[in-house]
Structure 1
Amino acid sequence: MTATIIAIPTFRRPERLRQLLTSLARMKVTDDASILIADNDAAGRAGATLAEAVRAGGYALPIEIIIVAEPGLCAVRNAIVETALAHPDMRHLVMIDDDEWPEADWLGELLAVQRRTGADVVGGPVYPHFADRKPGWVRETLVFRPESRPEGATGMLWASNNLLVMRRALDRLDRPWFDPRFGSSGGEDLDFLTRLHEAGCRFAWAPAARVAEWVPADRARLGWVMRRMWRIGITDTMVRRKQAAGAARGLALTGRAVAILAARTVALPMILWPGARRVDVAGQWVKSWGRLYALAGGSDASYGQPAAPVQGET
């Protein structure tokens, strides 16, 4: 294996994976890179089969393929980290999802920002690409709005679908790197990044390290966006609750959630204002209810069976 491992978890999306691999082969900078594909479908193995065929056809970069039999986001991400760390020369683990594809400068930009800043973790923006015609209300929601930050050192990062992590950062965390309690709800990447931040890792942002993400027709709907905001409220609170040791911090977290809901409720009439981001206003209100639901012990099983409640230490 090589200094930079580009890791791709995949599950029953071989055509999207093919497009991603085609894009990766066109990168301007490879920096001694290789690709690690983790297929989370042990029965069908559509991703592994596609990757084997691409590799046999003389692909531009080395490809390693693993099968992760245990279902779930955390299982496949942990298998990726374990496999990558088993290669002593690995210095950068770069994460991208199987329904995305990068611009040609993507890897070069991530590496350049890491070198300039000395950061342990570098993130970049994700731009939506709608499979069908983009709805007119899309500009009103942060769900499909790429993050915009200046290049360089930055605060908290939120997702792992366009991320470079240094080996030294992974070594700061105890196993499992991705907490299985978030396996069916999502939020495992936020918990991972939160723990890295608390371990003293430095974060940076690479605005030119751009990737695009497919948005299928069933996600370009208001109902899906509201469900997504509900889930964000739940998973964000699950992560915060896990970090909130003691009854006092738990009460403070509940008080904060109630205050946010009150503020969002007061702001609801903004939906009627001309030019208001109406979907964001409604979505933030729904997200606030998701926070309270999580604090009451609820979880979301968008990715499988209901997750076990995440409790704060007492």
Structure 2
Amino acid sequence: MNAAGKPIWIAIPTFRRPEQLRHLLETLPGAVAGHDVMLLVADNDPARQEGAAVAQELIRSGYDLPMLLLPVPEPGLCAVRNAIVAAALGDPAMRFLAMIDDDEWPQPGWLDALLACQATINADVVAGPVDSMFVGPAPRWARQTLVFRAEERPAGATDMLWASNNLLIRRRALEMLEQPWFDPRFNRSGGEDLDYLARLSRAGARFGWAPDARVSEWVPPERARLSWVLRRMWRIGCTETMARRKETPMPLLLIRSIGILAVRTAGLAALLLPGARRVDIAGQWIKSWGRLYALAGGAQKAYGAL
């Protein structure tokens, strides 16, 4: 891929979400107006290439922003994210890489807020909230549960960030770690972004939080179900533990995980209280079991096919 000569790259990994990707791409020009950006659409589906088809159609129709298409035939979360980082670093002019998922779209002022936070505290990485937008009616518990609530923090410096679906990384941070930037061991399990951010933190990266850099995320009906939410909590427990195994001795991690499970088990009594957030209580208990399952080496097998 030839160097594009743009200071800000906005990368979108995509896999079989053509309509959501189209909505994102149609929203982006208004959200990044006034900035010199390059869009990078990384299609991780060599068979159907639906994302590539959407990007090519928009390019042919005179899309308002410069856009590059990056086919990534090797399947997996880490494969596509590593391809994105390599492509962005290949442009000597690139100073910032923003990442947003293909089922999201930015709210007004998104990029401005990320860049303002970065400049204010000289951050290496900045993140912002993700607001869930349900497709069709959703039960009240789904709208209230932790899984779908946007994370809220004070603006400015923060100790740790957790995900890459609304993220701005400056070039210096990308160059802090050697390849592969995203550990292939997380290719099928998820949690590759948490592991990457944890390693960046240990390398001395400075993190920031921009409350006004908001993106919205579609929540399809199949996700607004109890079974999906509980599986999601199990997965979070697994992937968090997989990442922490790199820095925490196994005996200590096991003791902590058993202690957390004991506390969460005792907390199940709160399910009987009026007004209790029962899904969150049950989800935290399930998450505790996911931690232990990961310690037993089962996380990769459990999530390899999801």
Q: Given the two structures, how large is their TM-score scaled by the length of structure 2?
A: 0.96
Secondary structure of the equivalent of 1:88?
Answer: coil
> Which residue identity lines up with residue 19 of structure 1 in the other structure?
H
Aligned residues: 302
Alpha-carbon separation, structure 1, partners of 2:8 and 2:218: 25
Secondary structure of the equivalent of 2:68?
Answer: strand
Deviation at 1:137, TM superposition (A): 0.5
- 2:281 alignment partner in structure 1: 281
Deviation at 1:243, TM superposition (A): 2.2
Secondary structure of the equivalent of 1:59?
Answer: coil
Are residues 165 and 302 of structure 1, via their aligned partners in 2, closer, same or farther at CA, if it must alter by over 3 Å? farther
Deviation at 1:139, TM superposition (A): 4.4
Alpha-carbon separation, structure 2, partners of 1:26 and 1:272: 48
Deviation at 1:305, TM superposition (A): 4.6
Task: Find out whether 1:25 has 2:40 as its counterpart.
Answer: no
Task: Find out whether 1:49 has 2:53 as its counterpart.
Answer: yes
Secondary structure of the equivalent of 2:41?
Answer: strand
- 1:130 alignment partner in structure 2: 134
- The answer to whether the 8 A contact 1:24-1:104 is kept is no
- The answer to whether the 8 A contact 2:106-2:216 is kept is yes
- 1:203 alignment partner in structure 2: 207
> Which residue identity lines up with residue 94 of structure 1 in the other structure?
A
- 1:12 alignment partner in structure 2: 16
- 1:179 alignment partner in structure 2: 183
Are residues 112 and 301 of structure 1, via their aligned partners in 2, closer, same or farther at CA, if it must alter by over 3 Å? farther
Secondary structure of the equivalent of 1:270?
Answer: helix
- The answer to whether the 8 A contact 2:118-2:208 is kept is yes
**CA deviation vs aligned residue, 1:244-263 (integer Å, no higher than 9, x gap):** 3xxxx210110000000000
Task: Find out whether 1:292 has 2:296 as its counterpart.
Answer: no
Equivalent of 2:246 in 218, 239, 242: 242
Deviation at 1:301, TM superposition (A): 5.1
Task: Find out whether 1:119 has 2:86 as its counterpart.
Answer: no
> Which residue identity lines up with residue 171 of structure 2 in the other structure?
R
Deviation at 1:78, TM superposition (A): 0.3
Task: Find out whether 1:62 has 2:66 as its counterpart.
Answer: yes
Alpha-carbon separation, structure 2, partners of 1:31 and 1:50: 23
Equivalent of 2:99 in 91, 95, 119: 95
Q: Percent identity?
A: 60
**CA deviation vs aligned residue, 1:46-67 (integer Å, no higher than 9, x gap):** 1111101101111111000010
> Which residue identity lines up with residue 273 of structure 1 in the other structure?
L
- 1:194 alignment partner in structure 2: 198
- 1:312 alignment partner in structure 2: none
Are residues 15 and 140 of structure 1, via their aligned partners in 2, closer, same or farther at CA, if it must alter by over 3 Å? closer
Unaligned runs of 5+ in 2: none
Alpha-carbon separation, structure 1, partners of 2:177 and 2:186: 17
The 5 A counterparts of 1:133-282 are 133-244=137-248, 249-282=249-282
Q: Given the two structures, how large is their TM-score scaled by the length of structure 1?
A: 0.94
> Which residue identity lines up with residue 163 of structure 2 in the other structure?
A
Alpha-carbon separation, structure 2, partners of 1:104 and 1:218: 28
Deviation at 1:304, TM superposition (A): 3.9
Deviation at 1:22, TM superposition (A): 0.7
Alpha-carbon separation, structure 2, partners of 1:182 and 1:196: 16
Deviation at 1:300, TM superposition (A): 4.3
- The answer to whether the 8 A contact 1:130-1:217 is kept is yes
Are residues 97 and 54 of structure 1, via their aligned partners in 2, closer, same or farther at CA, if it must alter by over 3 Å? same
Alpha-carbon separation, structure 2, partners of 1:173 and 1:29: 31
- The answer to whether the 8 A contact 1:140-1:279 is kept is no
Q: What is the RMSD of the two structures over their aligned residues, measured on CA atoms?
A: 1.3
Are residues 27 and 271 of structure 1, via their aligned partners in 2, closer, same or farther at CA, if it must alter by over 3 Å? same
Alpha-carbon separation, structure 2, partners of 1:214 and 1:300: 26
